[in-house]
A and B are shown apart, each in its own frame.
Chain A
Amino acid sequence: MNAAMNENLTDAWTAICITPAVCAEWSEFNPASGVLGEAAKTAGAVSRKPGEPVEWMHHAPNRWLLPNLQPPLRDLLLTAETRQCGVLTQVSGKWQCIRLLPPKTTHKLRHPLGAGMPVELILEQRQCAAIVLFDCPVIVESDDGLLSVWVESSYLNSFLEMLKTLDVKVIVKAD
């Protein structure tokens, strides 16, 4: 995802929908292991380098979603798996990412996701949270105020239709 994904030149909320190519879940046996580092132990923590796609999200106890798994991290986790620190499970195709961009005129506009959840409350003290939103299991994630929703693939169509009823313009892209 590049900087252009953060731009919205329209007057409507826009949802950009992306299917990540390589997606995995890391499950750790011992919370103290810290295979992904100390910061990863914090509930709701997210790792992302500036301008880069998200690296991992700590969305459940002892579980991390790695939506864009690249070789260095993959190799690290496979090594940790052989040391019996945890299990790396391939889940490509399970999650879809919907990034919500506010309209260019953003004066006190209500977030469309506010129709289904208290946006400020959910992410008040965390960067990601696994919740049920519009009856769909999702992970909401904040990137410096810009929200993305990771929704399970089978729910994607219903979720996007719901966004359309909230006057969100939907754009579907390949990664």
Chain B
Amino acid sequence: MNQNAPLTQGTPDGSRLTGGPLTFTFDGKRYTGFLGDSASSALWRAGVRLFNRSIKYRRLRGFLALGPEDPNALLTVGEYPAWIPNVPASQVLITEGMVLRSQNRWPTLRWDLASMLLGPGASLWGAGFYYKTFIWPSWKTYEGLIRKLAGLGYAPAGSDLPNPKVEHPVADVVIAGGGPAGLAIARGVARSGARVILCEREPVLGGELEFEAAVIEGKPAPRWVQTTRDELSDLGVRVLTQTTVISANNGITIAHGQPAGLPGSDTLYRIHAPLFINAMGAVERSIAFINNDRPGVILSGAADRLLSRYGVLAGQRPVLFGNHDRLYDTARRLLQAGAQIQAIVDTRTDSQSPVRAELQGRGINCLSGFTVLRAQGHPRIKAVTVAHLNNPRSTQTIATDALLVSGGWSPAVYAGLQNGGVPRYSEPVAAFVAEGQPDWRLCAGAAAGHLALDDVLVDAQVTVDESVRRLNRTTASGSPWLVQQADAVPQLIAFWRSPASRHEEKQQFVDLQNDVTVADLRQALQEGFVDIEHIKRYTTLGVGTEQGRTGGTLGAAIIAELRTEPLAEVGISRSRGPFQPTPLMVISGTRLGFGLRPARLTALDQAHQQHAAEMELMSGWMRPRYYRGNGQDPFAASVVEATRVRATGGICDASTLGKIEIAGPDAAAFLDGLYLTPGSTLKIGRSRYAALLREDGIVLDDGLLLRLSSDRFVATTSTSHTAHVLAHLEFYKDTQWANQRISVTDVSEAWSVIVVAGPQSRQALVSTLGTSWQETLKDLTHMGHQSGTWRDYPLRLLRASFTGELAYELHCAPAIASSLWSELVAAGLAPFGLEALDVLRVEKGYLTSSELNGQTAPADVFASSMLKAMGQPVGKAMLNRPAFSDDNRPVLVGVRACDGKSAFLGGAQITRPESPAHSLGYVTSSVFSPQLKEWIGLALVARNQASLGTELLARDPIRGGDTPVRITGSVHFDPSHERIRV
């Protein structure tokens, strides 16, 4: 196999390649690849060995692995401003014209200025150096430079990616992993009739069967995979390739589908299945030796994949290094492909592998009991220094262009260690497996610590039986999975790092992504860190995108050696989902752009648009803040609109207010038990201001209570509290008033509400509603209401005011709201928005959630007359708490500037002038009053400081400084309320 096969010879012999050639660029230089190539394989075939620079020391790196566990090769794809950073080179499939860039280097990958500065001082940048440096004179001095140097890719300035799709598939079992275990389990469970979904992160199924020379059930591995896949299709199994499980919980598994390894056509699967099976295999790991991060040092499994998938040799003259018999299987495959194996360095002294004997017979240098001390060459590997473990001083140098390393495999336990799973060290595989699994989760195959294919398939059958039992089904009969041929049983003996001096430990890398070395681990221990979770966070071992897949167990083992403790005692750290880096836009699912949150519209939304309203999202509703015809900014418009309401009148959309119908023979008694003032004493056709308390005595909400008949009431709520009040009422109906004859129904959306306010409101209503309403309008007193119709639709007229003017609320069917609004405009009333409404209500001292803020009790904010009329509502019992009668308890007051003209804003803190640092309360609302021609406000101030006329300070250092203010009554305008009673 010639890795530099000229294009005229067609597509190289790789199982993933399907056509081409394609051209793409990497760091501005043009290269050629094939359809199906990943960026890693295409670049490697082209002779590229330098992919990136590491995050801390800016060391040159190639790729270590050919999966998401690769800690090195993260590239930027595309052009600024919409490029995509940190894309794993092994996952992204190249396309015609694709633009790729290396990261974390300047000006070029080969010649990076920062590495020249950071490299010589590397010993200064040990573990946790940032806790001990960059302190004087301040962190800010260094922040700019550190931000330039730190991190990997640069964030894009925009994105034109389409939204991800979201699906909620349903199954009985979801299996993560489409290798031999996952395939066998899927087939076995599906045969029982269960619904199965199988997720596999690669584009093809098979796992290591892609390259392992196996024969199963008499079929070569590729054919076994294909026939199994065909049977899965017949059994109705849904197979999702290029889909990675990123989170698994009880009853719901989240998987991310990303074809071609690049964001842009993602699907988020929220799979509803009661049983989850982790068959995600095992991840190969490296060994720590000097310069084990050199470009050209790759995992032996990566070399196997590079050859079988892409027809690329990892090196023409490779050396293999490891601690198990699978090395020899890999060597034989490479030899058959034309590689000239320079040596196989086996740390074990005694291997019985027949393949080893065969290779020795073919003249391959097989060194037993040896280790690789150092990788030599710069920027890429050119040789290795090896020595016998019993005599490390006696070294040999072997020239090579690639070092293929394997220190064994770590089962993919990240899913298995969530929800109570615990790690247990398994000596035979020198790795941790997950135990203590909850009922809804199983681990199988290599993920459960089985490395030989025989054992994997036996474990798969056990898993099938257990799964079927948990699903209360019957196992269907099927032929056993006989393995006639497979790669060797590894016979692994743990080996973690080569001998090195203390100084040389700084070049033995454990976590390549975060430049964590053996020296860092030793330093952490010296500085007193003990727990593996603390060491992880202090050294950053395993915190990168690969989440410790290649370095986690290795690091734990080295820590164990340094502490001379068993590895089982040290344990491994727990990673969290997502199990693989996932774009935030995918996690958002449909909650992107318009879908971020619904914006509720009233039936009058079109009318507001026609009147050029400036709409704003408030409490989930689009509401008119002001109307642009009245002023180009909210302040100017609010002055015009509020002035007009007081002078003549106006209309306002109050449809967002909550409306809850409480009905039934026991409705009145129910309301007595919940509202501050009893509902049972309310006459039919009358309404009353009413408030609800929480169980702790704090005011929950206020509104109006209308009595429609002897057993039917309507309670209005503030816009932002409708759901809360409804839940409160329903809770008590179903508990304390259970079995009573009460109905609670949310009718908020069944009624639009138009406020008609101002001196001319009655006249306008007479002309709008017609003669049938004339008498009612003449006779209706304040807080009275009357039901009838308008144009054959139900209409309820309520005389109530939140503006301090003669005012009415028209509760009408949404179907006629627009017509009614138009008629009122034609009658001479102009719309006013929420800014003006706020001015009008502050002038009158009326309350909103600014004052009923979840901390105020009735005595803090309500008039004494209301407190005297209090019945026995929920929450009353807690009002006797001493804290509610404390002298410092806040009370609602009015505030105005002492000079009659200065402004002050809501949120300003109220203090005594001589104690400006001691807050007595704060301004809850403030507006400019066109009537009074000055700034006015409401505030909650400690009652022992709140006498009328007291001069205090409204402090607002962030926005504008301090304003001397004086305490006034809360009703600033028309304190005797004459205008309401017209």
**Residues of A with Cβ closer than 8 Å to B?**
19, 23, 25, 27, 29, 84, 86-87, 89-95, 110, 114-121, 134-136, 152-159, 161-162, 165
B window 599-620: CB within 8 A of A: 599-603, 605
In contact, A29 and B741 (Cβ under 8 angstroms): yes
When the two chains form the complex, which single residue of A90, A110, A159, A165 contacts B598, counting CB atoms closer than 8 Å?
Answer: A159
Contacts of B743 in A (CB 8 A): 27, 29, 86-87, 89
When the two chains form the complex, which single residue of B272, B599, B621, B749 contacts A93, counting CB atoms closer than 8 Å?
Answer: B749
Contacts of A135 in B (CB 8 A): 591, 597-598
For the complex, give the distance between the alpha carbons of A119 and B663 in Å.
35
7 residue pairs of the A-B complex, CB under 8 angstroms, read A27-B743, A87-B712, A87-B745, A118-B170, A154-B621, A159-B598, A162-B595
In contact, A114 and B815 (Cβ under 8 angstroms): no
Decide yes or no whether B223 CB sits under 8 A from chain A.
no
In contact, A115 and B813 (Cβ under 8 angstroms): no
Which secondary structure dominates where chain A touches chain B?
mixed
Which secondary structure dominates where chain B touches chain A?
mixed
In contact, A91 and B603 (Cβ under 8 angstroms): no
In contact, B814 and A89 (Cβ under 8 angstroms): no
Q: Kindly list the 3 A-B residue pairs having the minimum CB-CB distance in the complex, ordered from nearest.
A: A158-B598, A87-B743, A154-B600
Q: What's the least CB distance linking B816 to chain A, in Å?
A: 10
Q: What's the least CB distance linking B79 to chain A, in Å?
A: 27
In contact, A118 and B272 (Cβ under 8 angstroms): yes
For the complex, give the distance between the alpha carbons of A22 and B602 in Å.
19
In contact, A114 and B168 (Cβ under 8 angstroms): yes
**Residues of B with Cβ closer than 8 Å to A?**
163, 165-170, 270, 272, 589-591, 594-595, 597-603, 605, 621, 661, 663-665, 712, 740-745, 747-752, 794, 813-815
Interface centre among B163, B168, B712, B741 (most CB of A within 10 A): B168
For the complex, give the distance between the alpha carbons of A34 and B844 in Å.
51
When the two chains form the complex, which single residue of A87, A117, A136, A155 contacts B664, counting CB atoms closer than 8 Å?
Answer: A87
For the complex, give the distance between the alpha carbons of A153 and B602 in Å.
8
Q: What's the least CB distance linking A162 to chain B, in Å?
A: 6
For the complex, give the distance between the alpha carbons of A162 and B597 in Å.
10
Contacts of B599 in A (CB 8 A): 157-158
In contact, B602 and A89 (Cβ under 8 angstroms): no
Q: What's the least CB distance linking A43 to chain B, in Å?
A: 16
Q: What's the least CB distance linking A158 to chain B, in Å?
A: 4
In contact, B813 and A92 (Cβ under 8 angstroms): yes
Known: A90-B750, A93-B749. A155 touches B600 (CB 8 A): yes
For the complex, give the distance between the alpha carbons of A157 and B617 in Å.
14
Residue of B nearest to A117 (CB): B168
In contact, A87 and B600 (Cβ under 8 angstroms): no
For the complex, give the distance between the alpha carbons of A115 and B591 in Å.
11
Residue of A nearest to B816 (CB): A93
For the complex, give the distance between the alpha carbons of A136 and B597 in Å.
9
Q: What's the least CB distance linking B161 to chain A, in Å?
A: 14
In contact, B741 and A153 (Cβ under 8 angstroms): no
In contact, A84 and B741 (Cβ under 8 angstroms): yes
In contact, B595 and A89 (Cβ under 8 angstroms): no
In contact, B663 and A152 (Cβ under 8 angstroms): no
In contact, A89 and B663 (Cβ under 8 angstroms): yes
Contacts of B815 in A (CB 8 A): 19, 92-93
Contacts of B603 in A (CB 8 A): 93, 153
Residue of A nearest to B621 (CB): A154
Contacts of A155 in B (CB 8 A): 598, 600
Residue of A nearest to B667 (CB): A87
In contact, B665 and A118 (Cβ under 8 angstroms): no
Q: What's the least CB distance linking B127 to chain A, in Å?
A: 45
Known: A27-B743, A118-B168. A93 touches B594 (CB 8 A): no
Known: A116-B166, A154-B602. A134 touches B747 (CB 8 A): no
For the complex, give the distance between the alpha carbons of A90 and B745 in Å.
10
When the two chains form the complex, which single residue of A94, A121, A136, A165 contacts B272, counting CB atoms closer than 8 Å?
Answer: A121
Contacts of B752 in A (CB 8 A): 93
